[in-house]
Amino acid sequence: MATELETKDETAQMHAGPDAGVKPLIPVAAPVLAGREKEYVADCMESGWISSGGKYVELFEAAFAEFCGVRHAVSCYNGTVALHLALVALGVGPGDEVIVPTLTFVATANAVTYCGARPIFVDSEPETWNLDSAQVEAKITPRTKGIIAVHLYGHPAEMDTLRAVALRHGLFLLEDAAEAHGALYKGRRAGSLGDVAAFSFYGNKIIATGEGGMVVTDDDALASRVRLLRGQGMDPQRRYWFPVIGYNYRMMNIPAAIGLAQVERADWHISRRREVAETYLLLLRDAPSLRWQAEREWARHAYWMFTVILEEEIPVSRDALMARLLELGVETRPVFYPLHQLPPYREAARGEEFPVAEGLARRGLSLPTWAGLSTNDLRYVGERLRECLPVGRES
């Protein structure tokens, strides 16, 4: 009796966060700032360059363009405004329609809405969970301007099929690569696969600067337009002359300094995440009642999140499983709600059904996935998860 109480107290203590929330032992995501981040940030402080004028902004942009294998990288305040800048630069405006997957983070559709345009939702493909390229053509109308391909959780979308559809109908193809730094599609990096791409460097992303974003493209004119719009629309040759209405969406020197240090170690970050995913696959390969996102033979998954789906027939609810794992010190996160279910977008979806995305959202959870997890951490997560599942048919 006493031991059980003691254990409980200890557990409660470990989990009691400063803001009365539950503090997990193993967070679902965390940045690893183990390169020259501190040194570069100190340099910003010592030099007094803390706004968007400092040298790290350009250095980070150049390093990130090289990393993606594209000509231009334009940094900005976060991934959401990177999407917004790209859409405005592509000419998206009121009355337009843009095709997006329903299973994505809300920013993908919000950026379309900021332009006065309408997101048109497409269901997911059951294996990779990305927008089902076979369903895109049926959604095209005379108002359709383009397609946003989201590389969900780090697995690239089926870009060749999407590109063919875009070409056939004169549409743009924008990559929302916020979750896919370093992912490969047929040997080419995410960010180099469409007309333009948007990245996020939010603290939980594969490359993290706190808040931060980047628009990348090979298109010179588009890159200039994005730069113009990012800096209030000011003519680069003529100070305080504003030919268009722009935005103040610039990145500051301090996050850019962190970003440069992160990109310098990008290969390490990417390979560590793959090791994490490969360890989970080993630990869970014969786990009953679970499946996970496929990795296509033409893809290298960047594993922003290693995500599992509970089989339909098991008597454990996803939410109950997440709550139990949290008690055991393992933070997880649910798969996004499909956007057509959210109040701002429910009406626009016109009662259409998106059964694949709905199923994934109901039964999916992401396990802790970040570069600093040890093998012991992963084993702990794998074992706790297996304990919470009903015993399978074969075991």
Contacting positions for ligand PLP (CB under 6 A): 78-80, 104-105, 107-108, 150, 176, 178-179, 200, 202, 213
**Is 186 annotated as catalytic?**
no
CA 100 from centre of chain:
14
Give the nearer residue to ligand PLP in terms of CB position, either 324 or 333: 333
Shortest CB 274 distance to ligand PLP, Å: 19
- Cβ distance 288 to 392 under 8 Å? yes
Give the nearer residue to ligand PLP in terms of CB position, either 108 or 133: 108
Shortest CB 107 distance to ligand PLP, Å: 4
Shortest CB 78 distance to ligand PLP, Å: 4
Give the nearer residue to ligand PLP in terms of CB position, either 185 or 380: 185
Give the nearer residue to ligand PLP in terms of CB position, either 108 or 307: 108
What whole-number distance in Å separates Cα of residue 105 and Cα of residue 113?
Answer: 14
Considering only CA atoms, which of 316, 336, 338, 337 is closest in space to residue 325? 316
Order across the sheet with 306-310: list the strands. 290-292, 306-310, 364-367, 333-334
Residue nearest to ligand PLP (CB): 79
What whole-number distance in Å separates Cα of residue 334 and Cα of residue 320?
Answer: 11
What whole-number distance in Å separates Cα of residue 206 and Cα of residue 302?
Answer: 8
Shortest CB 204 distance to ligand PLP, Å: 8
225, containing H or E segment: helix 220-230
Q: Is 26 helix (H, G, I), strand (E, B) or coil?
A: strand
Give the nearer residue to ligand PLP in terms of CB position, either 207 or 276: 207
CA atoms within 13 A on the CB side of 333: 15
Order across the sheet with 97-101: list the strands. 72-76, 213-217, 196-200, 172-176, 144-150, 97-101, 118-122
Single out the catalytic residue among 8, 139, 145, 205. Answer: 205
Residues involved in catalysis: 205
